[in-house]
């Protein structure tokens, strides 16, 4: 069963930006791209990505049912007569545009969230679907969260009864903060609500992300310790949330160049990495900018993460176990881990945290808190048994296993008193690196998944030709339907990572 998908766009700025947004029938989600930064030359390579909307139509049989006006179309149809596998666009900016010959309304996230809930209810009524998927770019994710955390709870209902999964591209879940030296500008933005941008400041975020019962009568802003990025523990399940985090500030829209300078290099050009995710939710880092020709929404990286999160039937997590990094935590060696994840058959990396992109994993830091620098688990990905696979040689039968690869690269540098020491340093040279290749047999309703794994350093020949010559990894989890196995790090890595260091994989099915 394919659930309806509702797209929610991001911030458009002032009246002129809103007018441009509403002139697009699909609010920009139909925009693809033809640039990609891969290839043998230093020039951008032509790569035609059709847009997430067209790919969902082509790959998964979704229908885009506008027919002159999606709201009028929905209201004219009988209940449960509209296809469930359908795509809808929340056109919340229409009432604030100046192009329809009437006085525009002032934009309000609260109003946009209330209208989104009305659209969701109408879609569910007309399709008969039990819930919808929400897919949002930038500020659109805050509109979705306002509906989930404020509008629906104010009615005494649960958001999970209406929403199955929430996927956000570059959403400023913890607001938009400016780099050191720009704090005054940030304060003026929130004070004077420049082009409606105060919605990214903590005071306004507290208002539209909290139920009315929490904010009524308050005039002193959010309480101590309140953080916009955190979703209530007793609210919408974090396992149903995925945040795509961009790490490329350089290729943000040329017109927004000032923005990318203001927020700093550790960002997508508009939203800082540390603010682009919900703690405890699933996430992936991709080297894409906030928008533009190298933006997240109109990228293969974004689409493949979206499609597998919405429709994938296997969830795979990886984390380190038994890690004992050489040296004490207070020595002058800083150890950083780079991670890259690829899936067989895809031309892109699904996830990438590297020093070059200002977001390596700090493996010596305390890991009680789930942050961009200390992710818990190390990463999560989703696999689909329905995705295309190569065939068994000489047959038309797809190979039975799903393959993905996790590249790990450990680097170190001396730092004392805030100053780097390079006397014994070899720049961009890893102390250890290897790739863990994992094959997963999905199993079925009765048989649990099985996993096979090997480090690239011991695989002879090309990876595409590798066939596991040993049995599956031992399942250490007795719970039915859940598989957990341990892969010790190679012998060469143990003097650094510890004699008991291993990658712990967990696989379980999804409905």
Neighbours of 88 (CB within 10 A): 24
Q: Is 291 exposed, middle or buried (0-12, 13-18, 19+ CB in 10 A)?
A: buried
Taking only the tens place, the pLDDT of each residue in 446-470 is 777 889 999 999 999 998 889 888 8
Phi, psi of 233 (to 5 degrees): -65, -30
Domain ranges of the chain: 5-311, 315-509
Q: For position 192, what pLDDT does the model report?
A: 38
Q: Are 510 and 478 in contact (CB under 8 A)?
A: no
**DSSP track, 247-305:** ---TTS-GGGHHHHHHH-SSBSSSSBGGGSS-TTSEEEEES-BSSSTTBSTTSHHHHHH
**DSSP 8-class letter at 184:** H
pLDDT tens figures, 200-253: 999 999 999 999 865 544 456 788 889 999 999 999 999 999 999 999 998 886
Q: What is the pLDDT of residue 220?
A: 65
Cα R_g (the chain), whole angstroms:
24
Q: In terms of CATH, what superfamily is 5-311?
A: Alpha/Beta hydrolase fold, catalytic domain (3.40.50.1820)
Q: In the structure, what pLDDT confidence band is assigned to residue 191 with cuts at 50, 70 and 90?
A: very low
Q: Residue 142: is its pLDDT beyond 70?
A: yes
Query: Which of the four pLDDT bands, split at 50, 70 and 90, describes residue 156?
Result: very high
Q: Tell me how far apart the alpha carbons of residues 260 and 290 are, in angstroms, rounded to a whole number.
A: 10
**pLDDT per residue over 352-411, tens digit each?**
999 999 999 998 876 678 899 999 999 999 999 988 888 888 888 888 899 999 999 999
The CB density around residue 233, as the number of other CB atoms within 10 Å, is 7
Mean pLDDT (whole number) for 49-77: 95
Per-residue pLDDT for 157 more than 60? yes
Which of 56, 95, 83, 87 lies closest to 70 in space, CA to CA? Answer: 87
Dist. CA 189–CA 203, nearest whole Å: 12
Cis peptide bond prior to 407, omega within 30° of 0: no
Contacts of 54 (CB under 8 A, 6+ apart): 30, 32
Q: What is the mean pLDDT of the chain?
A: 89
- Lowest mean per-residue pLDDT among 166-175, 299-308, 393-402: 393-402
Helix (H) or strand (E) holding 71: helix 70-76
Q: Does the pLDDT at position 148 exceed 70?
A: yes
């Amino acid at each position: 069963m394919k659930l309806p998908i509702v797209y929610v766009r991001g911030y458009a700025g002032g009246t002129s930006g809103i007018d441009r947004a509403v002139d697009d029938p699909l609010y920009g989600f139909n925009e693809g791209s033809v640039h990609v930064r891969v290839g043998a030359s230093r020039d951008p390579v032509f790569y035609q990505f059709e847009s997430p909307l067209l790919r969902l139509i082509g790959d998964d049989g979704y229908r885009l049912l506008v027919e002159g006006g999606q709201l009028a179309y929905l209201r004219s149809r009988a209940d449960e007569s509209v296809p469930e596998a359908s795509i809808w666009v929340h056109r919340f900016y229409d009432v604030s545009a100046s192009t329809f010959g009437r006085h525009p309304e002032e934009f309000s996230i609260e109003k946009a969230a209330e209208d989104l809930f009305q659209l969701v209810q109408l879609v569910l009524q007309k399709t008969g679907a039990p819930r919808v998927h929400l897919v949002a770019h930038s500020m659109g994710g805050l509109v979705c969260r306002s509906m989930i955390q404020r509008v629906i709870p104010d009615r005494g209902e649960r958001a999970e009864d209406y929403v199955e999964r929430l996927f956000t591209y570059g959403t400023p879940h913890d607001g938009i903060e400016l780099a050191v030296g720009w704090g005054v500008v940030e304060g003026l933005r929130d004070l004077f609500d420049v082009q409606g941008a105060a919605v990214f400041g903590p005071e306004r975020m507290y208002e539209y992300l909290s139920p009315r019962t929490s904010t009524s009568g308050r005039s002193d802003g959010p309480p101590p310790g309140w953080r916009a990025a955190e979703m209530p523990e007793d609210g919408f399940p974090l396992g149903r949330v995925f945040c795509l985090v961009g790490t490329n500030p350089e290729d943000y829209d040329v017109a927004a160049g000032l923005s990318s300078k203001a927020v700093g290099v550790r960002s997508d050009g508009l939203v800082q990495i540390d603010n682009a995710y919900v703690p405890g939710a699933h996430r992936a880092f991709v080297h894409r900018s906030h928008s533009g020709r190298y933006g997240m929404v109109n990228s293969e990286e974004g689409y493949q993460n979206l499609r597998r999160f919405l429709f994938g039937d296997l969830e795979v997590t990886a984390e380190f176990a038994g890690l004992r990094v050489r040296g004490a935590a207070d020595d002058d060696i800083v150890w950083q881990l780079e991670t890259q994840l690829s899936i067989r058959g895809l031309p892109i990396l699904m996830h990438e945290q590297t020093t070059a992109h200002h977001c390596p994993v700090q493996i010596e830091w305390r890991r009680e808190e789930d942050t961009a620098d200390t992710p818990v688990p190390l990463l999560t990905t989703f696999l689909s048994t329905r995705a295309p696979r190569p065939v068994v040689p000489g047959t038309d039968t797809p190979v039975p296993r799903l393959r993905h690869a996790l590249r790990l690269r450990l680097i170190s540098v001396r730092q004392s008193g805030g100053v780097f020491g390079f006397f014994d340093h070899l720049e961009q040279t890893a102390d250890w690196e290897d790739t863990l290749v994992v094959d997963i047999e999905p199993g079925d309703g009765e048989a649990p998944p099985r996993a096979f794994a090997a480090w690239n350093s011991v695989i002879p020949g090309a990876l595409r030709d590798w066939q596991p010559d040993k049995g599956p990894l031992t399942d250490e989890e007795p719970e039915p339907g859940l598989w957990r196995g341990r892969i010790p790090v190679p012998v060469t890595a143990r003097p650094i990572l510890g004699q008991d260091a291993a990658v712990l994989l967990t696989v379980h099915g999804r409905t």
